[in-house]
Amino acid sequence: MTRGPVYKLLTEADWAAAEAAGATATALDLADGYVHLSTAAQVRETARRYYSGQARVRLLRFDLAALGDIRWEPSRGRDLFPHLYGPLEIAKADAAWWLTRGADGVPQFPEDV
């Protein structure tokens, strides 16, 4: 699989909860039993599909080697996505950004992502 970083998108409410707890715990992740992550090639489409219309979205970047039990499993379009089976501690993020929505409602990414 990839050797590059992986990304986690969070709503403002999910980010506030993660700050309080020290780890992410979105409703979808809890329901599915793992933390949904995306590669650099996948994260923009994830943002478009699931975070459009949000005023701000938190984007966290993680070094894949710093995480625990990552499994590459098929998801959207049978593409393999990184899924973390264990807590995603926000202190392990090596970068973070606030994404704001563009005129089309889609979160806008910095050029270096």
The residue ranges of every structural domain in the chain are 6-100
The SS3 call for residue 96 is strand
Please list the pLDDT of the chain residue by residue as tens digits (113 residues). 567 899 999 999 999 999 999 999 999 999 999 999 999 999 999 999 999 999 999 999 999 999 989 999 998 888 999 999 999 999 999 999 999 999 999 999 998 88
pTM: 0.94
Query: According to the CATH classification, is domain 6-100 in 3.90.320.10?
Result: no
